[in-house]
Structure 1
Amino acid sequence: MDEEPGRAGQEAVAGRVVVPRSVTTAISLVWGTVAISGVTALLTWLLRDDLVRAWARDNPDAMEQLRAGGIEALDNSSITVPSFIPLAVTSFAIIAAMALVLSAFLRGGHNWARWCLVALAAFAMFTTFVSVNRGLPLVFVLLATLSLVLQVALLWFLFHADTRRYVRVE
């Protein structure tokens, strides 16, 4: 007796497991988040001076250096300016690697990958709320808002009935 491919909760058509639209949409949203992270990393490099100015607003010594001689004076001072670019690039690399792995496992019907994506989306939403309130340049606020919308949609599709049925293990 031949068994159909797939596990409980997964449909098979012509011997192949059918991945529900909710799962493929969730994976697309994950990659949308990766794209936003990549754009953010690039803009961090291009707009580093604007980010430093935004950071300096909360640091009186840094503001004094900026007023005295601009970004170059601040960079050459004894004040430690945050390294925004390495952080953004590292975050992008980690997000992209995790998206690659978790998307593959979600497509394969692994429930633990769904829960990992739920945790990542929740963490991303938390960090977005925290970062938006930091006086960042408008383009970063807009990207954060777009990311937040994608994260909410991702959570909706991860908890969609078809997704839950697809990853159910019995």
Structure 2
Amino acid sequence: MSDYPSYPPPPPPEGYGGYGQPARAEPPASISTSFNIILGVLALSALSTVLSFVYLDELVEAANVDTAGIDLDAARSSAMIGAVIGFLVFGALWVLFGVFLRKGANWARIVLSILVALGLVFGLLGLSREQPVVFLLLSLAQLALYAALMYFMWRPESTAYLKGRQA
């Protein structure tokens, strides 16, 4: 036996230590805000989809489409089904890209930027056509959200977070 007192070993370090997974960095506020904006865009899209059912006749009139020889009930049904399916598919993709953005995937920011750029172009073109006032207001709100999304996704702290997650 030794003349020195015996002490228990020190407790293990917190977390994973040097060999496990790295500590998960929380996304900066700009990334969280970007995700919330994506949810806002989806909410406006859902509202637009619902209102397109309510204002379907006005939208057809505003489009100046010749409806002679067209089964209007079948056209309405097809338009409604297409709108719902389109919203569900593209909405799910937007949420998926938003989740990957929050997890630090730079490619998700690039894809979202392309989608936002397309949305801005088509949204601005859509402002020139005749439409009910409620759709004009929704389009303006959506364009503002697109601009805000681009701003927050490309903030310096967002870039630092996404580049840090790639390393």
Contact 2:152 2:158 in 1 (8 A): yes
Contact 2:38 2:149 in 1 (8 A): yes
Q: CA RMSD in A?
A: 2.0
Distance across 2 between alignment mates of 1:164 and 1:80: 52
Give me the TM-score of the superposition, normalised by structure 2: 0.78
SS in 2 for 1:39: helix
Equivalent of residue 116 in structure 1, options 95, 111, 123: 111
Contact 1:27 1:103 in 2 (8 A): yes
- 1:91 corresponds in structure 2 to 86
Question: Gaps spanning 5+ residues in structure 1: where?
Answer: 7-14, 63-73
Counterpart mapping for 1:71-110 below 5 A: 74=67, 77-79=68-70, 84-110=79-105
- 1:163 corresponds in structure 2 to 158
Distance across 2 between alignment mates of 1:4 and 1:152: 40
Question: Gaps spanning 5+ residues in structure 2: where?
Answer: 1-16
SS in 2 for 1:16: coil
Aligned residues: 145
Contact 2:38 2:95 in 1 (8 A): no
Give me the TM-score of the superposition, normalised by structure 1: 0.77
State the shift of 1:122 in Å: 0.6
- Greater Rg by CA: 2
State the shift of 1:19 in Å: 1.0
- 2:18 corresponds in structure 1 to 2
